[in-house]
Amino acid sequence: MKDLTRGSEARLVFFFTLPLLFGNVFQQLYNTVDSIVVGKYVGKEALAAVGQAFPVLFLSVALVMGFGMSSNVLIAQAFGARRYDRVKAAIDTSFIVTFAFSLVVAVLGYAFAPAILALMRTPGDVVSGATLYLRIIFAGIPAMFGYNAISAIQRGLGDSKTPLYALIVSTVLNIILDLLFVIAFGWGIAGVAVATIISQGASFVWTFSYLVRRNPYIRANPLKMRFDREVFFSIMKMGLPSGIQQALIAAGFMTLTGIVNLFGTDPAAAFTAASKLESFAVMPAMNFSLAIASFTGQNLGAGRVDRVRRGLLAGVGMAFSLTFCVALTLYFFGGRLITLFSSDAEVLRIGAEYLKIVSLAYLMQTVMFSVSGVIRGAGRMTFTMVMALLSMWIIRIPLAFLLSSRFGTRGIWYAIDIGFLVGMTGSLVYYFAGTWKSAASDPLAASVPAGASPSAESISV
């Protein structure tokens, strides 16, 4: 576990982010290999099918993602305030609720997958593959939710390494199983889906075992977990706006995918391939944002508002530098990289066009995500929800409809740029207004004397 309230802000943010960043690289390899294997060995229709699945899964887990983010903030603030009883209560409650949600999502997702794909106007030659892929993935949703819940808990406690180790093993296993099931066994798109849920199950077992047996502060016992109603309502108070925000974003991606689908299978396949590549450009912003949120949560819990600004400046500088390098690579070499997924000429042309137009958005997204990390770490989830509504549904989606009617798929890519510009501007204005730092959001994480230090005995069960 790592105390983020003492020491060099830049060093703490960097070394906390590093395992997250490596973990996200492996996570994206996980997803990218799925797409490469189906694109190269099954066909562009299968590549498009995997792409259709992403926004549906994103929407399905959105509310739980919000719950996980609020759990992370609550745990970080309680840990920073040395309230270890609250840390334990938040962990138990988070597990219980996450497990219940995962079962509901699995059942509903399996049942309604075809209807959702129909709403997205999925091309006819893609529907059957997308439905099969989604239904297999939904069967493994509990393991996915479990791993993400434990990762949020570990980040709140200052540990970003343990989830990384599990993810490395899971990614290597997924790649091996992809090749085995698709190439050797000939299972097609079902093969990559089965490989994914087996690999996710392995990462969940790894991290859960650590939390139960080896965590030096919280030795969780799955048979003795207790639901704390007060903690639950505190988490929901923060998590509901965050969950709605994630749902708005996910539904926005589904709608954008639906707009792309109007132009046929080639743009759908190109959009899928380009999105897998751009995920590497988004990684620095996402991971530094997570680190900044945990850093902010702990320091606000400890009453150290002065450290938050310095942590943000360090984080945004490092994230921007990394994003710039990746964006430059995708701008100039994106077309060649698309060949990893498909050799179809039209897919290559559209994918390269997308990466050139949207590369500027990655830099704006980096600033927006970094600043949003502070706002989320302060528990101001309502603002991030409002910004998601504004940038996605008031700006990006209407513009995508309007501009695509005039410029084709290029109009959709222009709308993405404009949406991020609005989101970045709004986040900066709110940050500099300073209202986010008026108080720590969690009433349960009241501060204790600064000299208090972690005690394993005080929180073990």
Distance between CA atoms of 201 and 72, rounded to whole angstroms? 22
Indicate whether 234 belongs to any domain. yes
Distance between CA atoms of 398 and 392, rounded to whole angstroms? 9
Contact present, 147 and 6 (Cβ < 8 Å) = no
Contact present, 138 and 113 (Cβ < 8 Å) = yes
pTM reported for the whole predicted model: 0.75
DSSP one-letter string for 335-404: HHHHTTT---HHHHHHHHHHHHHHHHHHHHHHHHHHHHHHHHHTT-HHHHHHHHIIIIIIIIHHHHHHHH
Q: Provide the pLDDT for residue 220.
A: 60
- Measured in degrees and rounded to the nearest 5, phi and psi for residue 161 equal -90, -40
Which among 423, 421, 350, 338 has a CA at the least distance from the CA of 388? 423
Q: Provide the pLDDT for residue 262.
A: 93
Indicate whether 443 belongs to any domain. yes
Indicate whether 60 belongs to any domain. yes
Indicate whether 3 belongs to any domain. no
The residue to which tokens 């986040």 are assigned = 427
Indicate whether 291 belongs to any domain. yes
Distance between CA atoms of 32 and 337, rounded to whole angstroms? 12
CA angle, residues 57, 179, 257, in degrees to nearest 5:
30
Distance between CA atoms of 146 and 132, rounded to whole angstroms? 23
Give the DSSP H/E element, type plus range, for residue 47. helix 44-80
Q: Provide the pLDDT for residue 421.
A: 95
Distance between CA atoms of 48 and 369, rounded to whole angstroms? 28
Domain that holds residue 29: 9-459
Give the DSSP H/E element, type plus range, for residue 291. helix 265-301
The per-residue pLDDT string of the chain (461 residues; one tens digit each, 9 = 90 and over) reads 567 788 899 999 998 888 878 877 877 777 788 889 988 889 899 999 988 888 888 877 776 766 776 777 777 777 767 777 777 888 888 888 888 888 998 999 999 999 999 999 899 889 999 999 999 999 999 888 888 888 877 776 777 677 778 888 888 899 999 999 999 999 999 999 999 999 989 988 888 887 777 655 555 666 677 888 888 888 777 777 777 777 788 888 889 999 999 999 999 999 999 998 998 898 899 889 988 988 988 888 778 888 999 999 999 999 999 999 999 999 999 999 999 999 899 999 999 999 999 998 999 999 999 999 999 888 787 888 888 889 999 999 999 999 999 999 999 999 999 999 999 999 999 999 988 877 444 444 433 333 333 332 222 22
Interacting residues of 132 by C-beta distance below 8 A, sequence separation 6+: 189, 190, 193
Q: Provide the pLDDT for residue 234.
A: 80
Contact present, 35 and 276 (Cβ < 8 Å) = yes
Considering its fold, how many domains does the chain have in total? 1
Indicate whether 2 belongs to any domain. no
CA 165 to each of CA 19, 168, 198, 203: distance values in angstroms, whole numbers, following the listed order: 9, 5, 17, 9
Indicate whether 289 belongs to any domain. yes
Q: Provide the pLDDT for residue 217.
A: 53
Contact present, 73 and 376 (Cβ < 8 Å) = yes
Indicate whether 444 belongs to any domain. yes
Please, what's the b/e burial string for 201-212 (b: 16 or more CB within 10 A of its CB; e: otherwise)? bbbbebbbebbe
Give me 34's structure tokens. 């799925």
Distance between CA atoms of 366 and 349, rounded to whole angstroms? 27
Give me 411's structure tokens. 């109009």
